[in-house]
Amino acid sequence: MIPGLNEYSASFAEALLAAFPWMQKHAHLESHPDTEVGTLIVEYSPPPARKGYNFWISTDQGEITVGYGMFHCHFDWPNNSGDEYWQDPFEFVHELVEDRVLIQDWTKSGKWTGSSTLEAGQAPDLTELDEDHVLYLRSWSGKLDQVFSGLQKGD
């Protein structure tokens, strides 16, 4: 186990690393001064190397936060909500690393405007893709990555 974790973080880390043993080498005690003492952080950039495809998990402030690209979401721990991917952090990570859930990162004039998830096989809603918008569709493996630009909309 990782020395120095608080009780909440240690409980989550034990379950997380049992479910995803490969994360052990990417997990450590968070040292940022703005975080709660004893916070777990997992940081990883899945291959192939791509700018902006950083994956992370944090237990800061007594909640589980999972991020990928510009997207992040919050989960309760222990999970009492259900086992759908948007309710359970382990199910979400599993669906993400299996490329069954993709991340949509929206920008306008080069600045982030929002993020959401999209199930693999679904088409993104491009009805509001204006000329100055770019939608980055991000997958774990990189095989399903796409970029949609409003500049291409009229083509």
Q: What is the pLDDT of residues 73-104, one digit of tens each?
A: 998 888 666 555 567 899 999 999 999 999 99
Residue with tokens 């973080």: 9
61: left (phi over 0), alpha (psi -120 to 50) or beta: left
pLDDT more than 70, % of the chain: 92
Q: What is the secondary structure of 70-98 as a DSSP string?
A: TEEEEE-SS--S-SSTTT-HHHHHHHHHT
Amino acid at 34: D
Whether the Cβ atoms of residue 67 and residue 60 lie closer than 8 Å to each other: no
Residue 16 has pLDDT above 80, yes or no: yes
Instruction: State the pTM of this model.
Output: 0.88
Distant-in-sequence, close-in-space partners of 18: CB < 8 Å, separation ≥ 6:
none
pLDDT at 155: 47
User: CA geometry: angle at 73 spanning 34 and 48, to 5°?
Assistant: 95
Residue 40: strand pairing partners: 29
